[in-house]
Amino acid sequence: MTRWVCPLIVGVGSSLVSPCLAQEPARRPAPATDSSRLPDFEPFPSRWFAPGRPVDGVQPPAYVVNEVASAWNPYRQNVLKGDFPLAGTEDLFFSFTATNRLFLERRDVPTPTGITGPGPVREGFFGDGEQTFLQDDLALSFDLFRGQQAFKPVDWRLRVTPVFNYTRLDVNEVGVVVIDPAQGSTRERGDITLQEAFLEYHLFDWNDRYDFASVEAGVLPFRSDFRGFLFEDTNLGVRFFGNADNNKWQYNIAFFDQLDKDSNSGLVRYEDRDQNVAIANLYRQDWPVVGYTTSLSFHWNRDRRTGEFDDNGFLLAPAPIGNFRPNEIDAYYLGWAGEGHFGRWNITHALYQAFGEESANAIAARQVDIDARLIAAELSYDIDWWRPRVFALYASGDSDPRDGDGEGFSAIVDNPAFGGAGFSFWNSQGLKFVGTNLTTPGSPLADLRTSKTQGQSNFVNPGVLLLGAAVDAELTPKWRGQIGFTYLRFDRTEPLEFLLQAADIDKSIGTEIFAGTQYRPFLTNNVVLQFGGSVLMPDDGFARIYDSDDLRYTVFTNIITTW
């Protein structure tokens, strides 16, 4: 029997509408469905193609869910970006990336006087420190891989990246850009190399949650900790890696047979440099608290480099100081590092203990036993769109250059994103010192090595202490900036006094102020503009070494374009 119900419905404009609706007799509810018999998901013909907007030339079928593919719009899908599988396949992809980095820097660094060069003869050892440096790198990355890209790691991957490089350095002294003064004060060089060339292969899964084990071999990039305090390089090696326990554990076991680098471009040169590096590390996510990752690591640096001149004619090994004898290094590092957050507090820290021996340290002129350490920490707090932070780094120095103990900390190939990083004068510049370097570009360590990539580690050095603070700000979605300062001191000055044959060198280096900004005009990383600079105000120790308390500075522009 049909019943009639007449609900009162208020319509637009407060008018009353009261339709009478026919209502069927109540029916007995359907029996409950056994959910265990239902499929987990609805089968779908293809996760890459589905009924939707037609696209010419895309098969099968000729429809995609998203907008029409575009060669230039980064928000549109493109087979060359790995968004679609290659024609006729369901899981074979190809990705092409072109990146150009244009770097221009103006700087004032301590520069030895070119006494035999043009102009008046200067009596002082240091001359005009004004320099201009230009570098352009075009990297073309070709990435071919098989895999579904959803939760599951790729089955295999082949990546090659040729790089085309151009550098130009203009200085105001001769004998600086190349060892031959007759070649003037300008150096222009070009370089082409295969910077990456490696194969990744998926070995097996530990369980059905895709905890996996994989291996990659070839010329490959690798950073051994959160910030790159000890090893960050692209070189010839093999790496076994993976995860476990629902990705709570990550692990790496890597071995590198180091290739030499070009002196000017820093790119890989396919020449063996008689150095092996072995690394094992282990990461634990959310331990001991959620949001914090802890890591343990072991590094071994076996360096047997003998005689080596760089591409500009300068002697790198043996170091042109002290005894001029080939030096064999077996250095071991035990490390503990962590990174994460406790609420709005963010923390990064690292502790490394180095031990081992050098067979003939150039400064000690004898075998030395290594006993050195590095401690670094950064603490920050998130406040809406800005983040204040404080940081400190301590690298131990050597108290007696001739006692047979190497107490000054030296890394393998470091490039730490820490403190002022690339905006910092101290971190970014190579400061010449008595035939070697007080610091090398990209490293905050004062370890007296001739080159970070072509020279050898040196554990008889003054060490360094950095204390600083900075503010990072997300000014707009496109624009971010930072400003900060760093106070710098030597840990020990005995190695400096020994090499200079000068007494009572003060430990104070100085204070630097750094600032930088990054702008993304299209709200993507396809075009990134970076501008920055730093000023070092020398204290007594730096002024004594370089015979001047003049301000030192660097300003730079970095333009990165990517397709």
- Compute the radius of gyration of the chain from its Cα atoms: 30
What is the Cβ-side half-sphere exposure of residue 50, based on CA atoms within 13 angstroms? 8
Bridge partner list, 135: 103, 167
Residue with tokens 């970076």, as numbered in its chain: 530
517's tokens: 């900004």
454's tokens: 């072509």
Task: Give the separation between CA 323 and CA 366, rounded to whole angstroms.
Answer: 9
pLDDT of the residue at 396: 97
Q: Kindly state the average pLDDT of the residues 109-126.
A: 68
pLDDT of the residue at 355: 97
pLDDT of the residue at 533: 96
Task: For the chain, give the number of residues.
Answer: 563
Q: Kindly list the domain boundaries of the chain, sorted by start residue.
A: 99-562
In the predicted model, is pLDDT for residue 252 greater than 90? yes
Confidence of residue 9 (pLDDT cuts 50, 70, 90): very low
Q: Please name the residue ranges forming H helices in 106-240.
A: none
Residue with tokens 């995609």, as numbered in its chain: 64
pLDDT: which is higher, 36 or 535: 535
Task: Give the separation between CA 533 and CA 482, rounded to whole angstroms.
Answer: 11
Q: Assign 3-class secondary structure to 115-132.
A: CCCCCCCCCCCECCCEEE
Q: Kindly state the average pLDDT of the residues 196-220.
A: 94
Hey, is 78 helix, strand or coil?
A: coil
Hey, is 358 helix, strand or coil?
A: strand
Confidence of residue 135 (pLDDT cuts 50, 70, 90): very high
pLDDT digits (tens, 9 = 90+) for 257-275: 999 999 999 999 999 999 9
Per the CB < 8 A criterion, the answer to whether 116 and 181 are in contact is yes
Residue with tokens 């899908």, as numbered in its chain: 77
Contacts of 52 (CB under 8 A, 6+ apart): 63, 64, 65, 66
Task: Give the separation between CA 215 and CA 212, rounded to whole angstroms.
Answer: 10
Distance set, CA 444 to CA 365, 411, 490 (Å) = 25, 10, 11
> Other CB atoms closer than 10 Å to residue 359's CB: what's the count?
14
Which helix or strand (DSSP H or E) is residue 500 part of? helix 494-500
Task: Give the separation between CA 453 and CA 169, rounded to whole angstroms.
Answer: 19
**Is 160 buried (19+), middle (13-18) or exposed (0-12) by CB count in 10 A?**
middle
Q: Which of the four CATH numbers 1.10.240.10, 3.10.129.10, 2.40.160.100, 3.40.630.30 does domain 99-562 have? A: 2.40.160.100
Q: Kindly state the average pLDDT of the residues 457-464.
A: 96
Confidence of residue 455 (pLDDT cuts 50, 70, 90): very high
Bridge partner list, 439: 431
Distance set, CA 475 to CA 388, 519, 529 (Å) = 14, 10, 15
**Is 274 buried (19+), middle (13-18) or exposed (0-12) by CB count in 10 A?**
middle
Task: Give the separation between CA 380 and CA 341, rounded to whole angstroms.
Answer: 9
Task: Give the separation between CA 358 and CA 436, rounded to whole angstroms.
Answer: 18
Task: Give the separation between CA 557 and CA 548, rounded to whole angstroms.
Answer: 27
Per the CB < 8 A criterion, the answer to whether 338 and 491 are in contact is no
In the predicted model, is pLDDT for residue 13 greater than 60? no
Q: Please name the residue ranges forming H helices in 388-465.
A: 425-428
Positive or negative, the Cα torsion across 15, 20, 26, 32? negative
Q: Kindly state the average pLDDT of the residues 102-124.
A: 75
Per the CB < 8 A criterion, the answer to whether 240 and 217 are in contact is no
pLDDT digits (tens, 9 = 90+) for 332-366: 999 999 999 999 999 999 999 999 999 999 999 99
Distance set, CA 329 to CA 10, 102, 309, 399 (Å) = 88, 36, 19, 20
414's tokens: 């470091």
pTM as predicted: 0.86
